[in-house]
Amino acid sequence: MSSLLPISLKAPQFWYRPRGWLARLLSPIARLYGGRVIARMRRPGARAEVPVVCVGNFTLGGAGKTPLAIEIAEILRQTGQKPAFLTRGYGGREKGPLVVLPEASAEQVGDEALLLAQKGLTVLSRDRPAGAALAVAEGATIIIMDDGFQNPSLDKDCSIIAVDGETGIGNGMVFPSGPLRGPIHDQVPFASAVVVIGPGDAGTIVHEFARGSGLAVFRARTTVDPSAPVLRGKRVLAFAGIGRPEKFFKTLADMGAIIAATEVFADHHAFSEEDASRIALRAQTAKLIPVTTTKDRVRLSGGPARIGLASISQTVPIRLVFEEERDLHDFLVKRFRLGG
C-alpha cells in the first residue's frame, strides 16, 4: 500500500487549491484511508543487518525521491560506506529479490530501478526484508530504500522525506481529499528529516512546520547536469511522462530551448510503438529535436519505433544541489556514527 494511486491517474488540481466542497465531501473516506495508513505504519517490521535509510514522502506522487536517494548515496560513499539502493521496482513486472542490471528493461524492473542501477548497487524486491538480505549479501554496509516510508515491513533507522517546494503537502488533506497518505501530524513522528526541493511558499510552510516539530530540515534545488546537451536557441519537441512535466518544460526554457511542441503522458507511462512513431514523425515533420527526461529515456526500449525515438532524442539529466550539503553530511555522520 505504498501507493493506492493508479499509475495512469493524474493528481487532481483541487488537491493543490484551498479546501473546497469536493475535498470536504470526500473527507469521510479520507479519514478511513488515513487511519488505515497510520495504523499500518505502527506495525513492527523486520530488522536488517545494516542500517536502513528510507527516502520517502508524505504525499502520493513524486517529489524528487530518486535524485535525493542518489545524492545521499554519494555522501555516504564519501564516508567510506558501501550503500545499496533498495526499490520495489514500481512499474516493472519483476518481484525479486534480484540485483538490477543496467542493461535490464523498464518493463522488467521499472524506470526508477534502472536510474538507480546506473549509480550503484541496486536490489529490487517487493519483499523489502528479503531485498535487504540480498543487498547485505552483495556487500552493502548501509541500505537506501527508495520509497516505502509508509510500509512497515522493514525497520528504518532514518527516514528522510522529500517535499516539492512548489506543491508542499497541497491542501493538507488525506487521499482522496488531498495528496497526503496520512494525517501530517501522525506521519511526522516517523520521520527524521525533511528536504524541501526547489523554491515555493508551499515548501516553506512544510519547512517551518518540520523545523517546529523537531526534525532536521534541509533545502535543495535541481540543476542541470554539466553533461546535458546545449539546447539554447534550438527548436524542440519536449515529451515527458513524469509526475510534474511542467517542471521539465521550465528547465528546458531556462536552458534557452525554444519549445515548439509538447507531449504529456502520465507518470511512469509505458511508451507504445504507436507513441514513439507519432512523436518521431511529429518531430521530423516540424524539424524539431525530440527532448525528454532521463527517466522517460529508459522506458524507450523493446521495439524498433521506441529504440528509434531513443536514438534521435536528447536527454536532460538533472541533479540535486543542497544549500547546506555539509550539514546533511554531518547529519548522516552523526546519525550513524560514521567516519567522515
Sequence-separated contacts (24+) of 15-23 with Cβ below 8 Å: 15/170, 15/171, 15/173, 15/178, 15/179, 16/167, 16/170, 16/171, 16/179, 16/202, 17/171, 18/171, 19/171, 19/172, 19/173, 19/177, 19/178, 22/177, 23/171, 23/173, 23/177, 23/178
Beta bridge pairs of residue 218: 195
114 confidence band (pLDDT: 50, 70, 90): very high
8-22, 44-58, 267-281, 296-310: which has the minimum mean pLDDT? 8-22
How far apart are the C-alpha atoms of 289 and 280, rounded to whole Å? 9
Nearest by Cα to 149 from 267, 71, 47, 40: 40
CB count in 10 Å sphere of residue 196: 28
Element containing residue 41 per DSSP (H, E): helix 27-41
**What is the structure's pLDDT at 6?**
42
Burial category of 301 from C-beta neighbours within 10 Å (exposed 0-12, middle 13-18, buried 19 and up): middle
Sign of CA dihedral 177, 1, 117, 196: positive
CB count in 10 Å sphere of residue 19: 16
Between the CA of residue 276 and those of 144, 167, 246, 291, what are the distances in Å?
Answer: 34, 31, 20, 13
Q: What pairing do the DSSP bridges indicate for beta strands 122-124 and 98-99?
A: antiparallel
**What is the structure's pLDDT at 286?**
96
Residue 145 in this model has a pLDDT that exceeds 60: yes
Annotated binding site for ATP: 59-66
Contact 147, 87 (CB under 8 A): yes
**Chain-centroid distance, C-alpha 81:** 23
Q: What is the CATH architecture of 235-316?
A: 3-Layer(aba) Sandwich (3.40)
Q: What is the mean pLDDT of residues 199-228?
A: 94
Instruction: State percent of the chain over pLDDT 70.
Output: 96
Q: What is the mean pLDDT of residues 58-73?
A: 90
Contact 142, 76 (CB under 8 A): yes
Full DSSP string of 140-186: -SEEEEES-TT--SB--SEEEEEEETTTTTTTS-BTTTSSBSS-HHH
Element containing residue 98 per DSSP (H, E): strand 98-99
Q: Within the chain, which residue ranges are assigned CATH 3.40.50.300?
A: 27-222+321-336
**What is the structure's pLDDT at 325?**
73
Residue 34 in this model has a pLDDT that exceeds 60: yes
Residue 140 in this model has a pLDDT that exceeds 80: yes
9 confidence band (pLDDT: 50, 70, 90): low
Contact 235, 280 (CB under 8 A): no
Residue 14 in this model has a pLDDT that exceeds 70: yes
83 confidence band (pLDDT: 50, 70, 90): very high
**What is the structure's pLDDT at 340?**
60
242-267: pLDDT as tens digits: 888 888 999 999 999 999 999 999 88
**What is the structure's pLDDT at 159?**
97
Nearest by Cα to 148 from 102, 89, 206, 94: 89
Residue 1 in this model has a pLDDT that exceeds 80: no
Full DSSP string of 211-236: HHTT-EEEEEEEEE-TTSPP-TT-EE
What nine digits make up the cell of 113? 530501478
The CA-to-CA distance between both ends of the chain, in Å, stands at 37
271-318: pLDDT as tens digits: 999 999 999 999 999 999 999 999 999 999 889 999 999 999 999 998
204 confidence band (pLDDT: 50, 70, 90): very high
Per CATH, the homologous superfamily of domain 27-222+321-336 is: P-loop containing nucleotide triphosphate hydrolases (3.40.50.300)
Residue 322 in this model has a pLDDT that exceeds 60: yes
Quote the pTM value: 0.91
Residue 62 in this model has a pLDDT that exceeds 80: no
Greater pLDDT, 172 or 64: 172
Q: State which amino acid sits at residue 142.
A: I
**What is the structure's pLDDT at 244?**
84
338 confidence band (pLDDT: 50, 70, 90): confident
Q: What is the mean pLDDT of residues 178-207?
A: 96
| Interaxial angle between packed helices 65-78 and 325-336, expressed in degrees from 0 to 180 and rounded to the nearest 10 | 70
Annotated binding site: 59-66
How far apart are the C-alpha atoms of 240 and 105, rounded to whole Å? 18
3-state helix, strand, coil in the chain (%, to 5): 35, 20, 40
Beta bridge pairs of residue 55: 146, 160
**What is the structure's pLDDT at 4?**
44
Greater pLDDT, 96 or 240: 240
- Mean pLDDT score of the chain: 92
337 confidence band (pLDDT: 50, 70, 90): confident
Ramachandran class of 92: left when φ > 0, alpha when ψ lies in -120 to 50, beta otherwise: beta
